[in-house]
């Protein structure tokens, strides 16, 4: 991996210093009062449906966000802020927190709450017009959300609770092991999905009014022990490390339906790397880990793989520099279907791009902004997930802003390198997916071509062989 200075062009934090400029076109004099009323953007007709789909899941009483955005009276004071935050699009601080850049790479993801350009414009026009309420008859019926204590994956088949941790109001960051907990599982089961919840047991004082301020566990890696490990395994800890990591703001993890992950009877959960940070209040908390199982008798036909790659200790972020860049590379050892793109950086990180290089073909799979306050997991839709032949080189590029213009950085006067603390650096893609044989891969490519209705030579981003008239993978080499 190499680290260099580089201009971030329009992706730097300078773009965050001003509100998005939206041109509001005045109505021509000949427009009638009825036509003007129809053209007016109102809360009841135009804004409420956007909030219901993309905002209220978190912006409701007793949920994740610091304010409720259900009723007009609640929303009206935040109109100008809504215009600014939604106008950030893919930059840190955008709302809803979805950072995929919409002008490059794959655009189809599961559970995508992001706004269209038209919706962003409507919010801006509404705010500029004084946030009119509109006709109460236009208001859509309220949405029934799951309770904040319920699970996105449905009621788990198994819930395991971590040991409790305590953090003082202004304690320095801490990371390390907090031990292991028996699962209580009495039979082998394959896991279909898992989800984390941080539970606050005690809070004395006033937490900071940020997303991270609601919690003290920034991230926690999860291991699942094998009670009868293979004595011939050269790396007996490998299986423990290959489970999704908890992070602030993380959505649930759903495995490929054909690649359930085995949890054995008598296994234990190991919380071997917990990262804690103070939130302004004396806090005691723990994690709940919920597991959804496949039915008994299920057998996977694919192997779930965590394909993480990125920096080690050699990352080098200089002080007072807003435009820095790092690169890392990974060569796929097998044919791969990548199901999840998950950038992970630390406070100075503001953007990550992922490219796939196959022969003469170079495709940008995705670019995404990054905000250390709210980590996102991007689950590709099934027929949009990158389908890459073995030997493909993955190039990851990270952009960093270690300057006063980045509010996530507490003191940009300091150089920083790799490490676990928020003021240290990480530059990792916690990518996941499945590996496939040549025969499985060829069948998957044919299925993708049919699903996308591709003509010979037509390019599909993320599937370089979908446009091939022959199939070079079985021959063991690139085109």
Segment 226-236, tens digit of pLDDT: 888 777 665 55
Q: Report DSSP state, residue 359.
A: T
Q: How confident is the model at residue 11 (pLDDT cuts 50, 70, 90)?
A: very low
Q: How confident is the model at residue 303 (pLDDT cuts 50, 70, 90)?
A: confident
pLDDT for residue 9: 35
pLDDT for residue 210: 62
pLDDT for residue 126: 98
- Ranking 112-126, 127-141, 177-191, 310-324 by mean pLDDT, the lowest is 310-324
pLDDT over 70 at 421, yes or no: yes
pLDDT for residue 5: 40
Most confidently modeled range among 347-361, 367-381, 461-475: 347-361
Q: Report DSSP state, residue 9.
A: G
- Secondary structure tally for the chain: helices H, strands E: 7, 26
**Average pLDDT value for the chain:** 86
Whole-model pTM: value is: 0.82
**C-alpha span between 207 and 169 (Å, rounded):** 8
Q: How confident is the model at residue 22 (pLDDT cuts 50, 70, 90)?
A: very low
Going along 346-479, which residue ranges are E strands? 349-358, 361-369, 378-379, 387-388, 393-402, 416-417, 427-429, 432-436
Provide the percentage of residues in the chain whose pLDDT is more than 90. 61
Q: What angle do CA 468, 474, 477 make, to 5 degrees?
A: 75
Closest CA to 185 of 248, 124, 262: 262
Provide the β-strand partners of residue 368.
100, 352
Segment 388-397, tens digit of pLDDT: 999 999 999 9
pLDDT for residue 249: 72
pLDDT for residue 28: 39
Could you tell me how many residues make up the chain?
479
**C-alpha span between 389 and 441 (Å, rounded):** 8
pLDDT for residue 201: 94
- A 10 A CB-CB count for 472 gives 15
**C-alpha span between 181 and 183 (Å, rounded):** 6
């Amino acid at each position: 991996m190499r680290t260099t200075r580089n201009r971030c062009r329009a992706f730097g934090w300078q773009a965050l210093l001003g509100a998005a400029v939206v041109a509001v076109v005045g109505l021509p004099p000949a427009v009638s009062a009825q036509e003007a009323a129809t053209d007016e953007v109102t809360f009841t007709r135009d804004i409420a449906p956007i909030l219901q789909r993309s905002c209220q899941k978190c912006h409701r009483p007793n949920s994740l966000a610091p304010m409720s955005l259900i009723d007009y009276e609640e929303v009206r004071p935040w109109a100008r802020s809504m215009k600014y935050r939604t106008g950030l699009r893919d930059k840190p601080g955008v709302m809803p927190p979805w950072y995929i850049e919409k002008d490059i790479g794959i655009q189809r993801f599961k559970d995508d709450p992001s706004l269209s350009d038209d919706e962003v414009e409507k919010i801006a026009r509404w705010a500029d017009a004084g946030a009119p309420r509109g006709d109460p008859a236009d208001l859509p019926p309220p949405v029934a959300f799951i309770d904040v204590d319920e699970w996105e994956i449905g009621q788990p088949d198994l819930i395991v609770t971590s040991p409790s941790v305590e953090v003082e109001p202004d304690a320095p960051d801490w990371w390390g092991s907090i031990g292991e907990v028996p699962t209580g599982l009495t039979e082998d089961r394959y896991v279909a999905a898992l989800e984390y919840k941080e539970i606050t047991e005690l809070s004395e004082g006033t937490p900071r009014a940020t997303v991270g301020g609601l919690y003290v566990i920034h991230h926690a890696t999860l291991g699942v022990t094998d009670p009868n490990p293979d004595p011939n395994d050269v790396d007996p800890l490998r299986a423990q490390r290959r489970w999704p990591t908890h992070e602030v703001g993380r959505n649930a993890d759903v495995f490929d339906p054909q690649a359930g992950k085995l949890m054995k009877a008598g296994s234990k959960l190991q919380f071997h790397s917990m990262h804690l940070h103070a939130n302004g209040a004396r806090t005691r908390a723990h994690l709940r880990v919920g597991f959804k199982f496949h039915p008994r008798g299920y057998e996977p036909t694919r192997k779930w793989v965590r394909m993480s790659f990125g920096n080690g200790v050699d990352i080098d972020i200089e002080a007072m520099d807003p435009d820095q860049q790092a690169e890392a590379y990974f060569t796929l050892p097998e044919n791969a279907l990548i199901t999840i793109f998950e950038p992970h950086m630390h406070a100075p990180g503001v953007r990550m791009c992922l490219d796939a290089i196959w022969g003469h073909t170079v495709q940008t799979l995705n670019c995404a902004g990054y905000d250390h306050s709210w980590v996102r997991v991007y689950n590709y839709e099934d027929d949009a997930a990158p389908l890459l032949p073995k030997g493909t080189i993955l190039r990851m590029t990270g952009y960093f802003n270690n300057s006063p213009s980045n509010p996530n950085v507490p003191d940009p006067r300091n150089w920083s390198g790799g490490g676990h603390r928020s003021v240290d650096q990480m530059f990792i893609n916690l990518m996941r997916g499945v590996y496939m044989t040549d025969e499985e891969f060829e069948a998957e490519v044919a299925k993708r071509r049919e699903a996308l209705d591709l003509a010979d030579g037509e390019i599909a981003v993320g599937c370089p062989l979908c446009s091939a008239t022959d199939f070079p993978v079985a021959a063991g080499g690139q085109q």
